[in-house]
Structure 1
Amino acid sequence: MQLHISSADGVPIYLQIVNQVKYLVAAGRLSPGEEMPAIRVLAEQLLVNPNTVARAYRELEAAGLVEKRRTAGTYVSDQGSPLARKERLRILTGRIDALLAEAAQMNVPVEEVLKLIQQRLSALESSRPQE
């Protein structure tokens, strides 16, 4: 699991960990039942205090994204699917908002943006190998 922490971006480190783990689950790069790194291991990898990682794990557990198993570590929750879907939609919503804002700044009508999206979808579908 690769996380990238920045002390310069103004977001608390524990929250950066939480957000990145949510993204990894939503993107399917962390699967239900997959073991999370131990708190001390991740803290050493990220060069942060173990309490920071522990706080992030508590937040993730409260959100139902991970679960602690006694003496066995922390695992991605099997119940994470609805949250993962919600997180995927949140990520896509942000990207759509950015696209629409950029289109508005360029004076491109929404109808043209939708037409372009449809064209790109058609191009993607035609380039995929047939099963």
Structure 2
Amino acid sequence: MSGPIIRIDTSSHVPPYEQIRAQLAALITSRRLPEGERLPTVRQLAADLGLAPGTVARAYRELEAASLITSRRGAGTRVASLPSSATAPDPTALAELARRFVTEAGKLGADREIMLEAVRKALDQLP
């Protein structure tokens, strides 16, 4: 997996395994991680994030249960093929992204109206 980076917010009320699951689910369903893309091993991602391997393993199990990834001994863990209905954004990932935006914008001194205007402008600039 080269490119998108998983980040863990240790101050978040969301458990680390859920942060991993939500971020990877969002990357997969948005197709930023394409079908067949190899993911890091549980041990490698855990080491990269400074987490216990069991935390990453739980996230991977949940992604596999959701049919977003497949794991095979010897072949590693890869992004699964998605049905066309799987392109809807993950609500949990969207909520986490919105929370991070609001937190960071608040640190800049933005109030609710300024934040909403910033989002509207960003939406207006989409192709």
How high is the TM-score relative to the length of structure 2?
0.67
Q: Alpha carbons of 1:70 and 1:81: their partners in 2 closer, same or farther (altered >3 Å)?
A: farther
* Matched pairs, number: 101
> Which residue is 1:71 aligned to?
74
For 2:52 and 2:20, the matched residues in 1 are separated by 12
Contact kept in structure 2, 1:32 and 1:76, CA below 8 Å: yes
Of 25, 43, 61 in structure 2, the residue corresponding to residue 22 of structure 1 is 25
Deviation of the 1:87 alpha carbon:
2.0
Aligned-pair identity (%)? 39
Q: Alpha carbons of 1:81 and 1:7: their partners in 2 closer, same or farther (altered >3 Å)?
A: farther
For 1:24 and 1:81, the matched residues in 2 are separated by 15
For 1:33 and 1:60, the matched residues in 2 are separated by 14
Deviation of the 1:80 alpha carbon:
5.5
> Which residue is 2:13 aligned to?
10
> Which residue is 2:45 aligned to?
42
For 2:85 and 2:57, the matched residues in 1 are separated by 24
Deviation of the 1:24 alpha carbon:
1.0
3-state secondary structure, aligned to 2:51: coil
> Which residue is 2:89 aligned to?
87
Structure 1 runs of 4+ off > 2 angstroms?
79-83
CA deviations on 1:8-54 (whole Å, 9 max, x unpaired) are: 11101000000000111133220011001111100000000001000
Q: Which amino acid is the alignment partner of residue 86 of structure 1?
A: A
Higher relative contact order (CA 8 A, sep 6+): 2
For 1:21 and 1:75, the matched residues in 2 are separated by 12
| Two-structure CA RMSD over aligned residues (Å) | 2.7
Contact kept in structure 2, 1:39 and 1:53, CA below 8 Å: yes
> Which is helix-richer, 1 or 2?
1
Q: Alpha carbons of 1:31 and 1:81: their partners in 2 closer, same or farther (altered >3 Å)?
A: farther
Which blocks of at least 5 consecutive residues in structure 1 are unaligned? 96-104, 107-115, 126-131
